[in-house]
Amino acid sequence: MSLIVQKFGGSSVADPEKVRRVAGIIAETYRAGNDVVVVLSAQGKTTDRLIATAKEYNPRPSKREMDMLLSTGEQQSVALCAMMLESMGIPAISLTGWQVDFKTNSNYSNAAIKSVGQERIRRELDARRVVLVTGFQGINKYDDITTLGRGGSDTSAVAIAAALHADLCQIYTDVDGVYTADPNKVRGAKKLDEITFDEMLELASMGAKVLHNRSVEMAKRYNVDLEVLSSYEKKPGTKVRRISKVEQAEVSGVAKDVNVARITVIGMEDKPGIAFGIFSTLAKEKINVDIILQTLGHGGAQSITFTVARGDGERACEILEQHIDELGFSGLDMDTHVAKVSIVGAGMLTTSGIAAKMFDALASRKINIKMISTSEIKVSVLVDEDDADKAVQAVHDKFFGD
Amino acid sequence: MSLIVQKFGGSSVADPEKVRRVAGIIAETYRAGNDVVVVLSAQGKTTDRLIATAKEYNPRPSKREMDMLLSTGEQQSVALCAMMLESMGIPAISLTGWQVDFKTNSNYSNAAIKSVGQERIRRELDARRVVLVTGFQGINKYDDITTLGRGGSDTSAVAIAAALHADLCQIYTDVDGVYTADPNKVRGAKKLDEITFDEMLELASMGAKVLHNRSVEMAKRYNVDLEVLSSYEKKPGTKVRRISKVEQAEVSGVAKDVNVARITVIGMEDKPGIAFGIFSTLAKEKINVDIILQTLGHGGAQSITFTVARGDGERACEILEQHIDELGFSGLDMDTHVAKVSIVGAGMLTTSGIAAKMFDALASRKINIKMISTSEIKVSVLVDEDDADKAVQAVHDKFFGD
């Protein structure tokens, strides 16, 4: 008998038919003798609808009142799902954030979790009830309702699993697991049985939107075993763990990120601290810089090239232009027609030649590499956006091809 | 400066336009320097819609989960109204039942109020905020959400006014006060400036649906001054108080109740305890008996005539038939074509001849009186249903005619 936390997203509980399916999964887990805690998001587009309604009352509502309003969505979800379970003969009880003492800070609409009470949930589990808890919400020290921001229900589920020392936290979504690459775009993409937290974090930040990074970070910190699986198909998903139990693959996934702009600062004066000046100026404006390449250009003048999120590109250039004399450079060049292709794998730590293998795959398809960045478990290259899909396929074939 | 509790019903807050009007009333009260606590129902048909939704998930949902679901309606109301007030520059905060420590027993869906916390509301009032509290809901000793049943928001408002020792509890509705008779049906019906709790209770039980009786009973017990007034028209309403401040009118209202059936038990044996037997048998089945008339019939055989709610008539007869031998009577006769016409007035206590004046009015219109019942502040007569409207008008003309 295990204690299992199961989280279902808004699209999985959008209507009575879908809730019936979800209740079926819960009932099966419960009937197998497990203690089951269920975390639910608001149904379907409820949150979007409530936000739109709020705007009719106040174009700029306070975040405190917005959280008060939005939290009703999850409360309705858990109550209706409890009713469905009752109709199937499964004892169930729904609980809100305050009822399980789900404490957060006071950063309304994007609150950070501080602690989760065990007492009430344990008592209900001891009475052999399925416990349904509202995702996405908590209370602050003033007993006011807070919400965790978008994707917060995943994080709620992990926090509850951590507090209860659950054996497993299952995140049910509309995909059936984590793949070696986007299965809709890459031939031969395979579902992974297992992946480590760090790999998952790198893949997620690369745009693989299976799990919210915040939830994976929390799972890593509290060592909560995760499983990503489908609400629609009954088959095992992908386990996300501290250390993978199967033999570590050298590479676990290939990802593409087109949300990138490359900026080159040209004709920099040859004086110390200029790179620091550029990046601290951007940091003050909360613009994150990713890959950085510093080169010695023609005639001894230096240049620095770096990437930012594409949406930040224009603003980054404007800010640097404003400080052109003070920072000491002659011009800027921006290229938004680029993409980042990355391989991620915990196995890289112990295997050599992984990066070389990736470059070989790209070279054989005559794909030009504009920039390179490596970390312990990741190698990223910047390529022309037109080459990106071809690059992903080539790299994927190299590592996962038969 | 006063502390005023204002309650608005669901139809008064049904959409942004209506909430804007309500917020205007609140803002004006606040700007006049008063402390304002607002109690709101769920918007428009929200509660009905949630009940219908629940049935799609479970035809017989548990009351505990139903209350969890329904309570979201008022939570949305108070959050949206707080947003509207904020947009008008009025500092406001919305609070749920649990946030104001609104304690009830555990009778889900029809809970009784046990106590209301003052602390949180006082703190917010001290910060010069308008405090918006969810009507209709509370929490029990297990920290589970309960609801008070239909019409519970009026009672919530009175309970909060009592706990805070408010100077006035204003109940805003879609009528502008309490009338001497139904203004849609009786010529010359006048709005009352004031009425006593007892008169209001008698009128309400007669079908004048201005205030929920439960709220009037609570106001009477804790001596909370009430005012019934319109959300749509800016003018004084009707004050409901322990003792009326104006000179006590002998009669304050005339009401008609067609929800009546008259049952006659014929041929009763002349033995002691038979009347008791009949009424205790009905009481066991939770059938309330109203007017009772006992007569000595032909040849010494007795009969008893009484009235019950029309919907209980058939069942009352069936139950008595089942006990015909044991109770000792020969037959039953039921008449559902009757109506009760009543006059209510605290002034009756000190004025004689009121009943006679009523009978005179009816006699002059040749209306036959079938039964009579009197209490300290009420005289009721049973008439043929076809005569009822004419009877109300005749009695009203007699007491209120110019």
- Check residue A315 and give its pLDDT: 95
Q: What is the dihedral of CA B361, B363, B365, B368, to 10 degrees?
A: 120
Q: Does the pLDDT of residue A364 top 80, yes or no?
A: yes
* DSSP per residue, B166-187: -SEEEEEESS-S-BSS-TTTST
Those residues with Cβ within 8 angstroms of residue B4's Cβ, 6 or more apart along the chain or in another chain: B29, B34, B35, B36, B37, B166, B167, B168, B169, B170
Contacts of A74 in chain B (CB under 8 A): none
Segments in A58-132 forming alpha helices (H): 63-87, 119-126
Q: Which candidate from A69, A79, A94 shows the least CB-CB separation from B79?
A: A69
For B182, the token pair is 């139904």
* Interface contact flag, A66 B53, Cβ < 8 Å: no
Residue A245 pLDDT class (50, 70, 90 cuts): low
Cα separation, A241 vs A195, in Å, equals: 6
Q: Which residues pair with A307 in a beta bridge?
A: A262
pLDDT digits (tens, 9 = 90+) for A158-205: 999 999 999 999 999 888 899 999 888 899 999 999 999 999 988 876
- Total residue length of chain A: 402
- Check residue B246 and give its pLDDT: 62
Contact A78, A129 (CB under 8 A): no
Contact B207, B256 (CB under 8 A): yes
Q: Does the pLDDT of residue A41 top 70, yes or no?
A: yes
Cα separation, A267 vs A260, in Å, equals: 23
Question: In the sheet where A338-344 sits, what is the strand order?
Answer: A253-257, A338-344, A378-384, A371-375
**What is the arithmetic mean of pLDDT over A347-367?**
88
- Check residue A350 and give its pLDDT: 73
According to DSSP, the β-strands at A130-134 and A35-40 are: parallel
Q: Which of A311, A312, A329, A310 is nearest to A321 (CA)?
A: A329
Please give the sequence-ordered ranges of beta strands (E in DSSP) within A223-356, or none if there are none.
226-230, 238-241, 253-257, 261-268, 289-296, 302-308, 331-335, 338-344
Instruction: Report which secondary-structure segment, H or E, holds B27.
Output: helix B16-31
Say yes or no: B23 contacts chain A, CB-CB below 8 A: no
Cα separation, A295 vs A351, in Å, equals: 29
Cα separation, A353 vs B286, in Å, equals: 86
Q: Which residues pair with B275 in a beta bridge?
A: none
Architecture of domain A3-173: 3-Layer(aba) Sandwich (3.40)
Q: Does the pLDDT of residue A79 top 90, yes or no?
A: yes
HSE-up of residue B113 (Cα within 13 Å, Cβ side)? 28
Q: Does the pLDDT of residue A358 top 70, yes or no?
A: yes
For B249, the token pair is 């009118």
Query: Rounded to two decimals, what is the model's pTM?
Result: 0.85
Say yes or no: A57 contacts chain B, CB-CB below 8 A: yes
- Mean pLDDT of all residues belonging to chain A: 92
Those residues with Cβ within 8 angstroms of residue B397's Cβ, 6 or more apart along the chain or in another chain: B187, B188, B361
CA distance A24 to chain B (A): 13
Cα dist from B5 to A383, B2, B30, B162, whole Å: 66, 10, 11, 10
Cα dist from B114 to B4, B100, B105, B140, B145, whole Å: 22, 13, 7, 9, 14
Say yes or no: B78 contacts chain A, CB-CB below 8 A: yes
- Check residue A299 and give its pLDDT: 59
Segments in A196-346 forming alpha helices (H): 197-205, 213-222, 274-284, 313-322, 324-327
Contacts of A61 in chain B (CB under 8 A): 83, 86-87
Contact A328, A274 (CB under 8 A): yes
Query: What percent of chain A stands above pLDDT 90?
Result: 73
Q: Does the pLDDT of residue A301 top 70, yes or no?
A: no
Buried b (16+ CB within 10 A) or exposed e, A111-127: bebeebeeebbbebbee
* DSSP per residue, A127-167: TT-EEEEESSEEE-TTS-EEE--TTHHHHHHHHHHHHTT-S
Q: Which of A51, A43, A50, A98 is nearest to A74 (CA)?
A: A43
Those residues with Cβ within 8 angstroms of residue B63's Cβ, 6 or more apart along the chain or in another chain: B108, B109
- Total residue length of chain B: 402
Cα separation, B151 vs B41, in Å, equals: 9
Residue B99 corresponds to which amino acid?
Answer: Q
Residue of B nearest to A23 (CA): B57
Residue of B18, B69, B90, B132 best to disrupt the A interface, most CBs of A under 10 A: B69
Contacts of A78 in chain B (CB under 8 A): 68
- Check residue A376 and give its pLDDT: 83
Cα separation, B118 vs B136, in Å, equals: 17
3-state secondary structure (DSSP) of residue A253: strand
Phi, psi at residue A234, to the nearest 5°?
Answer: -90, 90
Contact B212, B151 (CB under 8 A): yes
Say yes or no: B57 contacts chain A, CB-CB below 8 A: yes
Residue of B nearest to A51 (CA): B80
pLDDT in tens, chain B (402 residues): 899 999 999 999 999 999 999 999 999 999 999 999 999 999 999 999 999 999 999 999 999 999 999 999 999 999 999 999 999 999 999 999 999 999 999 999 999 999 999 999 999 999 999 999 999 999 999 999 999 986 799 999 999 999 999 999 999 998 889 999 988 889 999 999 999 999 998 887 665 667 888 999 999 999 999 999 999 988 999 999 987 666 667 889 999 999 999 999 988 887 778 888 899 999 999 899 988 887 765 556 688 899 999 999 999 999 999 999 888 899 999 999 999 999 998 878 777 788 899 999 999 999 999 999 888 889 999 999 999 999 999 999 999 987
Q: Does the pLDDT of residue A401 top 90, yes or no?
A: no
3-state DSSP: chain B helix, strand, coil percent, rounded to 5?
40, 25, 35
Those residues with Cβ within 8 angstroms of residue B52's Cβ, 6 or more apart along the chain or in another chain: none
Radius of gyration of chain A (CA): 24
Contacts of A60 in chain B (CB under 8 A): 87
Q: Which residues pair with A241 in a beta bridge?
A: A196
Say yes or no: A100 contacts chain B, CB-CB below 8 A: no
* Interface contact flag, A58 B99, Cβ < 8 Å: no
Q: Does the pLDDT of residue A268 top 90, yes or no?
A: no
Cα separation, A71 vs A50, in Å, equals: 10
For A201, the token pair is 């974090």
